[in-house]
């Protein structure tokens, strides 16, 4: 059974984990366990001392050992004796902020209820009629009801269970059954309390051109936090946190992940308290959030995606990869080949003609590229980033004809056609800005904050969302695009919307994201055959919320193969290769000036949704041949890259190389790829230990760098995992390498 409810004890099991809650003698819902499977009541392992200055709930009488300041709780709140950070804070009409939530009931569900207006992790049977649900399936979800002892406020914790992926999701719903308005000041769908343990915490920080750098640090007493207040999940921090035991590495040890399925501002906190206990809280950023809940209304938070691995970080990542590939990415994109594309951005920037685009497409077609993507600069009078966002009229002078004509020409070459848009933005120099200055996010009577010479449209205003839907519906209807790159090139700061009264301005950040999701939902429903790639100046909005609508996301504007090793390494902790936009660009690289071989650039771009972003005319004949070879190889390997288990084999921060592998589900095919950073003289051969093979089966090294081995060598899986695969010697720096191994038939 995936959910067991015995009196006041609720245990949610996945294949390898248990998550447990227990309503104690006062009805307070404790969080008693998240970790390896258990069949016990884990509250039996709790014992608390009398801690001075930690107040007790009133009904605990004189029991000085009972304080919410020390107990492990399922949903910690403010104002009830717990001084640690809270997951839910509500302001009552009198201005007070206390809640006293007690357990009411837990109801198992046989089908998860989709979240309204928000992306969510869907289950296989979503939308299917299950005539005998109780008989056919174990519970797929459980709703846990809590109620405040004083005000008629109900809280439902909505859990859903992904047994095979070892994932549990949680969303928090607040229902105001009082007769007055209440205000939610903070709501966090993830809150995990641990009684004991000495942890490291792992998070992913960065900046534009350098997203999701993995950082692992000792957890210290007090609060450690990450977050974004930019109105986007951000380049600077990603909305995911990992707690790992000290000895946990890629292959061994316990690790807990929490990933927020949300694209706006967020806050992630980890607190190590006075009793060495740890609390993780991940949710909306309270500095940018508030929700006024009228009598009779309810509010549901986004989902948090929780996963536990007892077998190290690679397993934790693979659990997230499987979940995202099968339960976040929409069904129609899951098994679909993703087109190998060429994008004109780094080839031309804004400076292109109709003939340039056709010639890029023609050259690309010759090497096996499947889709031409026309990036920024095709509309209004946009020959630089100074103008025209918002004016989505085709610049027919620049394109020397209609967009439809260009699309037909590209289709005529038997290639797909993709188009760049940035719907949420407006340039100061645009017709839209002149006509609707009130649609811009800014504070009246103050100078607006510019960023890349552009402003953000107020998607908290439903009128703006309707306008954008009509604009892009018309554009896609008359121009049969196969793919859209949806960009977002600045953060939001001077928040204000005329669509809300002064007292409700703090709702704006969340309303903006709801507007964005509404727009994405309407457009993807209207054009289900169009593939969307998310983008925000590279990977500034790389999150599970966006992935629900855009199955792939441009990972970074930094296309340098060496830098990408680090960026894609960090991104892989939560997100699978199928979601990671990764292209081969020109040398010297436009972001770093670094020169790397075409092979190296190709290898790195293969660990994602691959493509090119350069003028192929600059390649000589040998390079064109090599590029064609890379295309063929990628098409051949894409099913293994997207459908296999990915392993991080090295730590690029500690070693002179970055290697990864993809192992097919039957463990028969193994693709090992990576980059050796610096070549040093007189080195003994380096080896890297593989993972995920069958130790008792023999594996033949079929090819090295795409070339079939003349005298293939064969090793037992155990040798390759324990002693390693011997790498070819390198010459020069940043040398990409690829090895393909196949299991010997019995
Ligand atoms: C930022 C994106 O990340 C780039 O790939 C490109 O599309 C530019 N915007 C265009 O303005």
Between the alpha carbon of residue 35 and those of residues 143, 186, 432, 439, 605, the distances in Å are 20, 27, 53, 48, 36
Q: What is the pLDDT of residue 135?
A: 53
Mark the ranges of the chain whose per-residue pLDDT is less than 70. 1, 125-136
CA dist 183 → 23, 171, 291, 299, 508 (Å): 26, 18, 5, 10, 14
From the list 466, 623, 694, 733, the catalytic residue is 623
Q: Is 744 a catalytic residue?
A: no
Distance (Å, whole) CA 494 – CA 220: 34
CA–centroid distance for 179 within its chain: 39
CA distance 142 to 10: 9
pLDDT value for 128: 44
3-state SS class at 621: helix
pLDDT for position 129: 45
Distance between Cα 365 and ligand 1 center (Å): 23
Among this protein's residues, is 623 annotated catalytic? yes
| pLDDT per residue as tens digits for the range 1-60 | 699 999 899 999 999 999 999 999 999 999 999 999 999 999 999 999 999 999 999 999
Ligand 1 mutation pick, 209, 210, 375, max ligand atoms within 8 A of CB: 375
Q: How far apart are CA 415 and CA 392, in angstroms?
A: 24
What distance in angstroms lies between residue 618's CA and the mean position of ligand 1's atoms?
Answer: 21
**Residue whose CA is at the smallest distance from ligand 1 atom 11:** 376
Centroid of ligand 1 to alpha carbon of 556 (angstroms):
10
Contact between residue 323 and residue 590 where contact means Cβ atoms under 8 Å apart:
no
- Nearest protein Cα to ligand 1, atom 2: 537
* Residue 114 Cα to ligand 1 middle (Å): 33
Measured from the Cβ of residue 477, the count of other Cβ atoms closer than 10 Å reads 10
126/291 Cα distance (integer angstroms): 29
Global pTM? 0.98
Q: What angle do CA 536, 537, 541 make, to 5 degrees?
A: 25
The rounded distance, in Å, linking the Cα atoms of 171 and 189 is 5
Mutate to test the pocket of ligand 1, among 345, 542, 553, 612 (most ligand atoms within 8 A of CB): 345
pLDDT of residue 683: 87
Q: How far is the C-alpha of 214 from the C-alpha of 204, rounded, in Å?
A: 5
Distance 550 CA to ligand 1 centre (A): 16
Give the 3-state secondary structure of residue 58. Answer: helix
* pLDDT of 137: 73
Give DSSP secondary structure letters for 263-279. SS-EEEEEEE-TTS-EE
Burial-class residue 217 by CB neighbours within 10 Å (0-12, 13-18, 19+). Answer: exposed
> For ligand 1, atom 9, which residue shows the shortest CA distance?
537
Displacement of CA 436 from its chain's centroid (Å): 33
CA dihedral 688, 693, 697, 699 (to 10 degrees): -50
E strand or H helix that includes residue 21: strand 17-23
Ligand 1 environment, Cβ below 6 A: 345, 375-376, 420, 487, 489, 535, 537-538, 554, 557
Of 69, 543, 563, 613, which one is the catalytic site residue? 543
Contact yes or no for 370/399 (Cβ under 8 A): no
Confidence at residue 126, expressed as pLDDT on a 0 to 100 scale: 55
Three-state secondary structure along 646-684? EEECCCCCCCCEEEEEEECCCCCEEEEEEEECCCCCCCC
């Amino acid at each position: 059974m995936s959910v067991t409810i015995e009196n006041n004890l609720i245990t949610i099991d996945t294949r390898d984990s248990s998550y447990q809650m227990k309503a104690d003698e006062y009805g307070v819902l404790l969080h008693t366990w998240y970790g390896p499977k258990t069949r016990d009541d884990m509250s039996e392992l709790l014992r608390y001392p009398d801690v001075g200055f930690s107040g007790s709930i009133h009904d605990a009488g004189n029991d000085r050992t009972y304080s919410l300041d020390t107990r492990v709780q399922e949903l910690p709140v403010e104002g009830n004796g717990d001084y640690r950070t809270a997951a839910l804070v509500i302001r009552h009409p009198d201005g007070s902020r206390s809640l006293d939530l007690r357990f009411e009931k837990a109801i198992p569900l046989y089908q998860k209820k989709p979240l309204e207006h928000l992306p969510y992790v869907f289950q296989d049977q979503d939308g299917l009629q299950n005539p005998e649900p109780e008989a056919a399936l174990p519970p797929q979800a459980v709703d846990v009801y809590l109620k405040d002892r004083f005000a008629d406020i109900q809280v439902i914790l909505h859990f859903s269970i992904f047994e095979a992926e070892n994932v549990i999701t949680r969303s928090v719903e607040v229902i105001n059954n009082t007769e007055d308005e209440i205000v939610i000041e903070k709501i966090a769908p993830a809150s995990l309390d641990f009684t004991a343990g000495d942890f490291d915490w792992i998070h992913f920080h960065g900046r534009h051109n350098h997203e999701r750098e993995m950082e692992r640090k000792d957890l210290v007493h007090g609060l450690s936090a990450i977050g974004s207040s930019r109105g986007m999940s951000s380049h600077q921090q990603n909305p995911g946190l990992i707690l790992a035991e000290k000895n946990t590495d890629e292959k061994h040890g316990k690790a807990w992940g929490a990933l927020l399925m949300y694209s706006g501002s967020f806050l992630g906190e980890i607190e190590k308290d006075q009793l060495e206990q740890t609390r993780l809280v991940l949710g909306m950023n309270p500095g940018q959030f508030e929700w006024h809940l009228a009598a009779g209304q309810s509010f549901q938070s986004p989902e948090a995606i929780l996963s536990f691995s007892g077998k190290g970080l690679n397993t934790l990542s693979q659990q997230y990869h499987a979940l995202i590939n099968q339960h976040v990415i929409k069904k129609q994109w899951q098994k679909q080949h993703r087109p190998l594309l060429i994008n004109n951005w780094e080839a031309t920037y804004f400076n292109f003609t109709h003939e340039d685009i056709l010639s890029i497409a023609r050259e690309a077609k010759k090497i096996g590229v499947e889709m031409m993507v026309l990036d920024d600069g095709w509309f209004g009078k946009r020959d630089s980033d100074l103008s025209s966002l918002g004016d989505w009229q085709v610049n027919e002078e620049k394109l020397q004809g209609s967009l439809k004509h260009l699309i037909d020409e590209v289709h005529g070459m038997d290639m797909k056609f993709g188009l760049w848009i940035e719907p949420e933005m407006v340039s100061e120099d645009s017709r839209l800005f002149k006509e609707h200055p009130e649609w811009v996010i800014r504070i009246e009577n103050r100078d607006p904050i510019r960023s890349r010479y552009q402003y953000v449209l107020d998607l908290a205003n439903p009128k703006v969302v309707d306008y954008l839907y009509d604009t892009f519906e018309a554009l896609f209807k008359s121009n049969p695009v196969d793919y859209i790159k949806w960009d977002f090139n600045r953060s939001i700061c001077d928040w204000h919307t005329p669509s809300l009264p002064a007292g409700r301005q703090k709702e704006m950040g969340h309303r903006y994201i709801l507007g964005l999701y509404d727009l994405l939902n309407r457009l993807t429903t209207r054009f289900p055959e169009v593939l969307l790639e998310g983008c925000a100046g590279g990977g500034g909005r790389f999150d599970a919320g966006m992935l629900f609508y855009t199955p792939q996301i441009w990972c970074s504007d930094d296309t340098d193969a060496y830098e990408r090793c680090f960026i894609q390494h960090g991104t892989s902790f939560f997100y699978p290769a199928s979601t990671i936009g990764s292209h081969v660009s020109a040398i010297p690289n436009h972001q770093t000036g670094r020169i790397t071989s075409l092979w190296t650039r190709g290898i790195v771009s293969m660990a994602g949704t691959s493509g090119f972003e350069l003028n192929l005319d600059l390649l000589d004949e040998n390079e064109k041949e090599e590029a064609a070879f890379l295309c063929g190889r990628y098409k051949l390997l894409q099913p293994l890259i997207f459908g296999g288990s990915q392993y991080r084999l090295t730590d690029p921060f500690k070693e002179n190389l970055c290697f990864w592998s993809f192992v097919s589900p039957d463990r028969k095919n193994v693709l090992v790829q990576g980059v050796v950073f610096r070549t040093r003289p007189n080195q003994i051969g380096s080896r890297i230990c593989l993972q995920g093979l069958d130790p008792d089966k023999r594996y033949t090294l079929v090819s090295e760098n795409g070339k079939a081995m003349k005298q293939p060598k064969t090793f037992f899986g155990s040798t390759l995992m324990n002693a390693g695969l011997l790498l070819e010697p390198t010459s020069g720096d940043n040398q990409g390498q690829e090895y393909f191994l196949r299991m010997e038939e019995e």
